[in-house]
Structure 1
Amino acid sequence: MVTWADASRWEPAPLADAVGALNAEYNKLLPASEDLRKLTTPYGWTGEAADAASAKVTEMVDGLEEWAAELAAGRMAAANVGDAVVGVKNGVEEVRNLAGAQNFTIADDGAVIDNGPPPGTPPEQAEAVAGERRQFAAELAERVKQVMQSAEDVDTDFCSVLDRILNHQVFDATTNDNSATNLSAAGSAGIQAGGLTIPAPPPEGATAAQNAAYWATLSDQQRRQLAMDHPGLVGPRDGFTATHRDIANRSLLGQERGELQRERGDLQRRLDGLKESDPSEMDEYHEIEDQLKELDEKLGGIEQVDARLNNPDLPPAFLLGISGDNAGQAIIASGNPDTAANVATYVPGTGSGLPGIEGDITRSDRMFAEAQKAGSESTSVITWVGYDAPQSILPDAASKTFADNAEQRLHSFQAGLEASHQGERAHSTVVGHSYGTTAIGQTARDHGLATDDVIFVGSPGVGVDHADQLRLDGVPASQVSDHVYSTAAPTDPVPLATNFRTPELDGVDPLGPDPTTEWFGGRQFAAEATSPLDSHSDYWEPNSSSLRKMGQVIAGS
C-alpha cells in the first residue's frame, strides 16, 4: 500500500531514464523484423533434421516477438507512469502548500496536523476560528485521500503491467498467424498492453475540493485525454480547470445541438402529418407548434453561445457548463477564472435560459470592461445560467422553490472556482439580478458562499432580513455588511411591486425585504431612473453609474 511518505518521495526522472534504455533496446531489435517468419530450411533439405531446424527457427522468432512486445510494454508503462508521477507530485505539493499557508502539516501517514491558529488571534474570535480550522482540516483530509487514491491507482496499474511482463503474458506468439506476425506487430501489441488507465475520479456528487484534489494529481496529458474522451465526466465538474472543462463542454455543446436538431426534426415530421383545419387534430397541431418554437429558441441560444466562444474581438471565453434541459442552462466565462486576479459570477433572474442568453453574456462582457477601467488588470466575469430560473413573473418568480433548487449548484460552483484557482487567491464577487439575487441570498444563508463581495441588482428579496445573516466564506461575520452592495432604480417596478418596504412586514414576504432599504444594512449605490418598461434591465447600459459601480466592486477598488 502506498503511503503519503512514499508518494512524497516519488520522482519521474528514473522512469524517464528507463524509457530511454528500453527504447534503445527496442530500436536495436526492430530491424530484425524483416519477415522473420519466412525463414526456412534450404531448398531440398527434408527429414527429421530439417523439421527440427524449422521448429527451432519458429521458436527463436516467437522468442524475439515476445521480447519485442515486452520491451514495448515496459517502455509504454514507464512513460505513462512517469507522466502520472508528475501529476501525483503536483497533488502532493498543492496539499502541502494549502496546509502550510494555514499552519497545518501532513504527517508521513497522511494525517492532518493542526499547529494552531495564527498568533495574536483575539480571544473573542477563538471559537469561530476553531470551527473554521476544523472545517479546513476536514477539507485537507479529503484532498490527502484523493491524492493517495490516485497514487494507489498508479501503483496498482504499473504493478499489473510489470507482472504481465515478468510472467510473459504480454504477447503469445503461438496464438498468432506465423506467416503474418512480425516484430512491429508484436511491438504494437506490447504498446497496447503497457498502456495505463487514468485514475478514476471521485464519485458523482463529490465536493469541489475532492474534485480539485483528484484533478491536481493528473498530468496535463491525462487531463486533456479525459476531456476529449469523456466530456460528460469533465465538463460539469466543479473544481476541474476551466481550460479542460471548456474542451469537454465544447464537445457537449455540439452534442446538445445535435439532440435538439433531431428532436426538432421528429416534431416537424409529426406536424407535417397533421392538418390545422381538422378539428380533431387542431390542439395537437398547435401544441407541436409551441414545442417547435421553444426548440428554435434554444437552438438560437446554442448559436449565441457558440458565437461568443469564437468571437476574436472579445476576451477569450471558456464554456464551463451546457444543458438543453427545460429552458436550457449555460455557464460562460469571459477570461480565465483560474488565473484572473478578480473573478465575478453573474446570476441572472426570471426568464433566463438558453433563449436570449446573448443579453446576459453581453452584460458580463460589459462588467469585464468596466472592471478593467476601474484598474483590474486580470479579470474574469462568468455568466452563470446554471440553474432552472423561473420563466414567468407569476406564479414562478413569487416562489422561492427555484432559488431552493439553485442553492447547492451555486454553492458548489463558487467553491469550485476557489478550489481550481492557480496562484494567489482571487478577489471574488457574485452579482445577482432580479430573481438571481434571491438564489444568491438563499445560498449564502443556507450554505455559505465562496466570495468576498455580493451585489444585488433590482432585487425582489434575498431570503434574509438583514445583510449580516448572509455567510460569505473568508469574511468575518462582523464584517459581512461591508461586503454586501445593492441598487434599485427608482423606476424599477420589480423591487417596488415585490416588497412592503416597511420593517414591520419584512417577515411576511417569502423572498425577504428589498436589500436597498436602510434597515437591511450593507452598502447601497445609485442607479439612474429610466422608463419603467426598461428600468429593470438598464443597470448595464454603457456609461451608467450602476455599471460603473459594479466594475469598481469587481475590481476591488
Structure 2
Amino acid sequence: MRRFRVRRGIAATAVALAAVLGAGGWAAGTQSAVTGPPPGSAAWTADTALGLRLPDPATTTPAGIAAFFGALTPAQQDALATRHPLVVGNLDGAPVELRYRANALALTAERTRELARATDPALTPEDHRAARTRAERYRTLLDGGRHVLAFDPRGRGQVAEVFGDLATARRTAVVVPGSDTDLQSFDRAGDPYGTAAGMARALHGATGGQTAVIAWAGYTTPVGLGPDAATEDLARAGATRLTRLLDGLAVSTRPQAPPTVFCHSYGSVVCGLARPGPARASGLVVLGSPGMGVDSGADLDPGVPLWATARNGSDWIGDVPHVRLLGLGHGADPTAPGFGARPVPATGSHGHSGYFAPGTASLAAYAAIALGRG
C-alpha cells in the first residue's frame, strides 16, 4: 500500500509538470536570484565624507537604517542620496521621500549610460537595440512624477512603485506579482490588470485613494513555464526580500495597521514562504495561486488573516495539480475548503490576470479587505 501511494504521488507530480511545463518540456532555463545588498554598497560603506560610519546594507536591519537616517540633517541625507542613489533608493527603512529622490537620480544616470551604449561603435547592433529599449524603459519611469520606491538594474531589473501617499494613507497594501515580472513587464500596457503596476493602480482606485498601494517587483521571478516556476528556489529568495520590505515599511511609514499583502500566482509561493506575522502584515490575499509552499493555512501565522480567491473558469492555473514532491510543485490548493482560507468571490473576472479588473467581485472584495473591512 505504501509503495502504491508513493507511485501515485510520483505520477501526480509528473502530471503536474506536464500541466505546468507543457507538452514541449521546459520552456525556459533556470536563473540565479538577485540577492544581497544594493549595487554600489562597497562604495557606500567606504564613504567617510560625512565623518560618519555608514551602516552596512548587508547586515544592518531596516530599523537600524531608519535610526541612522533619523540622526542626519536633511542636507546630510540629500548628500548621501546624491552620491549613492542606487544604495539609498533601495535601503528598506530609509525615509520614503528620500528614496523617491534617490531612485529618480539612479534612473537618470542609468538612462544616460544606456544612451551612450546605444551609440557605442564597439557594441553590436543587437546591443544597441537592447540599450535603447532599457533607456526608454528608464525614461517612462521618470515621467509624470512617479513614486519609485526601489530600482535595481541588475539582471532583468527590479522595481517597486507606490500609488498614493505612504505618509498620509490610513491603510497600505503590497502587491506581489508572479512569473514573467521584471523591469520591462512591470507595467506593460497590453495587460493593464495583470501587471504589478496595473493591479496596484486598480486597488488604489477601488479604495477611493484611501489605501497607498505598493507594486513590488522586488524579486527575481520565473520566466515562462520552466523549472523555476515548478520549484521554490526563487520564491525563497523573494521571501527574504519581501520580509525586509515589510520590516522597512514598519519603521518608515505610520499607517493605522501593517500592510495587507496581495499575492498573485507564483507570488503566493513567495508570501507563503515569507510567513509574515501580525507585526508585518494585516492579512494575506492569494489569487491565481498554484499553492503557497505549505500544506495548509495552519502552517502560516495564525495572527494574520488569510483569504483565497476563487478561480474563474478561464484561469489556466486551475489545470495545475496541487502536489509537492521531490522539490517540485507548491503544495495544497489555498481555495480548497480544508485549507483554512477565507473565500473571496471572483464573479466577473476572466483569465489568470483578470482578478483586479474594475467591476469584478474580486476587486470589490480586495478593496474592502485593504480598507480593513474584510
User: Is the pair's TM-score, using the shorter chain for normalization, greater than 0.5?
Assistant: yes
8 Å contact from structure 1 (residues 347, 430) kept in 2: yes
* Pair member with larger Rg: 1
Q: Which of the residues 55, 79, 96 maps onto 1:202?
A: 55
Identical aligned residues as a percent: 26
Q: Which of the residues 256, 273, 285 maps onto 1:455?
A: 285
**Aligned match of 2:244:** 412
State the one-letter code of the partner of 2:161: I
Matched position secondary structure for 2:212: strand
8 Å contact from structure 1 (residues 371, 551) kept in 2: yes
State TM-score, norm by structure 1: 0.53
Aligned-residue offset at 1:259: 2.8
8 Å contact from structure 1 (residues 411, 448) kept in 2: no
Aligned-residue offset at 1:292: 5.6
State TM-score, norm by structure 2: 0.77
In the alignment, is residue 421 of structure 1 matched against residue 253 of structure 2?
A: yes
Matched position secondary structure for 2:275: helix
State the one-letter code of the partner of 1:406: G
Q: 1:90-489 alignment to 2 at 5 Å?
A: 197=50, 199-205=52-58, 206-266=60-120, 270-271=123-124, 288=126, 294-307=130-143, 309-310=144-145, 317-358=146-187, 359-372=195-208, 377=210, 379-422=211-254, 425-444=256-275, 450-471=280-301, 477=302, 479-480=303-304, 483-489=305-311
Instruction: Call closer, same or farther: CA 1:297–1:391 in 2, change over 3 Å.
Output: farther
8 Å contact from structure 1 (residues 242, 318) kept in 2: no
The structure richer in helix per residue is: 1
Instruction: Call closer, same or farther: CA 1:298–1:399 in 2, change over 3 Å.
Output: farther
The separation in 1 between residues aligned to 2:69 and 2:83, in whole angstroms, is 16
In the alignment, is residue 520 of structure 1 matched against residue 351 of structure 2?
A: no
Aligned-residue offset at 1:545: 1.0
The separation in 2 between residues aligned to 1:368 and 1:319, in whole angstroms, is 16
Aligned-residue offset at 1:435: 0.9
The separation in 2 between residues aligned to 1:262 and 1:519, in whole angstroms, is 57
Q: 1:494-533 alignment to 2 at 5 Å?
A: 494-500=316-322, 510-528=329-347
8 Å contact from structure 1 (residues 338, 417) kept in 2: no
Aligned-residue offset at 1:434: 0.9
C-alpha distance after superposition, 1:114-149 (max 9, x if no partner):
xxxxxxxxxxxxxxxxxxxxxxxxxxxxxxxxxxxx
For structure 1, the residue ranges without an aligned partner over 5 or more in a row are 1-156, 158-195, 273-287, 311-316, 472-476
The separation in 1 between residues aligned to 2:141 and 2:268, in whole angstroms, is 23
The separation in 2 between residues aligned to 1:448 and 1:342, in whole angstroms, is 15
Matched position secondary structure for 2:107: helix
Aligned-residue offset at 1:337: 2.2
Instruction: Call closer, same or farther: CA 1:530–1:238 in 2, change over 3 Å.
Output: closer
In the alignment, is residue 552 of structure 1 matched against residue 368 of structure 2?
A: yes
C-alpha distance after superposition, 1:179-229 (max 9, x if no partner):
xxxxxxxxxxxxxxxxx9363332122111111111221233322232223
8 Å contact from structure 2 (residues 81, 98) kept in 1: yes
8 Å contact from structure 2 (residues 349, 360) kept in 1: no
Matched position secondary structure for 1:546: helix
Further displaced range: 508-517 or 235-244: 508-517
Matched position secondary structure for 2:154: coil
**Aligned match of 1:98:** none
The separation in 1 between residues aligned to 2:227 and 2:117, in whole angstroms, is 29
The separation in 2 between residues aligned to 1:465 and 1:448, in whole angstroms, is 21
C-alpha distance after superposition, 1:504-544 (max 9, x if no partner):
x566763122211111111111113665xxx1111121111
Using CA pairs under 8 Å that are at least 6 residues apart, name the structure with larger relative contact order, 1 or 2: 2
For structure 2, the residue ranges without an aligned partner over 5 or more in a row are 1-47, 188-194
The separation in 2 between residues aligned to 1:521 and 1:365, in whole angstroms, is 29
The separation in 1 between residues aligned to 2:129 and 2:296, in whole angstroms, is 42
Cα RMSD, aligned residues only: 2.6
The separation in 2 between residues aligned to 1:216 and 1:506, in whole angstroms, is 45
